[in-house]
Amino acid sequence: MAEQHLLESQEQPDYLGFENLLYPVIFEHAYQQYRVGHLRDAALNAFTAVFDLIRARTGLDMDGAKLVGQVFSVKKPRLILSEIEAGSGRNDQAGFLHIYQGAYIGIRNPKAHSLQHDLTDEKAAQYLIFASLLTRRAAEAHEP
């Protein structure tokens, strides 16, 4: 009986909804569109916000693979994600360079160039969380 009462009286952990995982700029520019069912707009805005933040941090006025290639280059980066003197840091830098390029080519571009989409609520939420990770990494990166 005492054990049952103890279990029932313990506080339940707070629910961590996906919106709590969103980086502030993603929440600001994409979450409301998601909430009202504009899933394509939410995903497009999220990834546009990622690349806007990268441009703002670097002052570069370019887009896509060219932007990402210059910003996250292993040899001459504008933003450093990890300690690139170490092999694992170079791998992190190079890997995320490809992830950013893939996000631009495979997510942002298709959403920007067609009104057709295959998004569900779940898939759109996952895109917003993924965009949040990319935004966080770019925001926390340091300059050389």
Residue with tokens 């210059």: 70
Q: How far apart are CA 28 and CA 4, in angstroms?
A: 43
pLDDT digits (tens, 9 = 90+) for 18-39: 999 999 999 999 999 999 999 9
Question: Structural domain boundaries of the chain?
Answer: 22-140
Name 142's bridge partners.
Answer: 80
User: Measured between alpha carbons, how far apart are the two ends of the chain, in Å?
Assistant: 61
Q: How far apart are CA 43 and CA 33, in angstroms?
A: 9
pLDDT for res 55: 97
In this predicted model, which residue has the larger pLDDT, 131 or 115? 131
What's the rounded mean pLDDT across residues 41-62?
A: 97
Nearest to 103 by CA among 60, 56, 143, 63: 63
* pTM score of the predicted model: 0.85
The token pair at 102 is 């893939």
Q: How far apart are CA 46 and CA 63, in angstroms?
A: 15
**Percent share of the chain, pLDDT over 90:** 75
- From the number of C-beta atoms within 10 Å of its C-beta (0-12, 13-18, 19+), residue 126 rates as middle
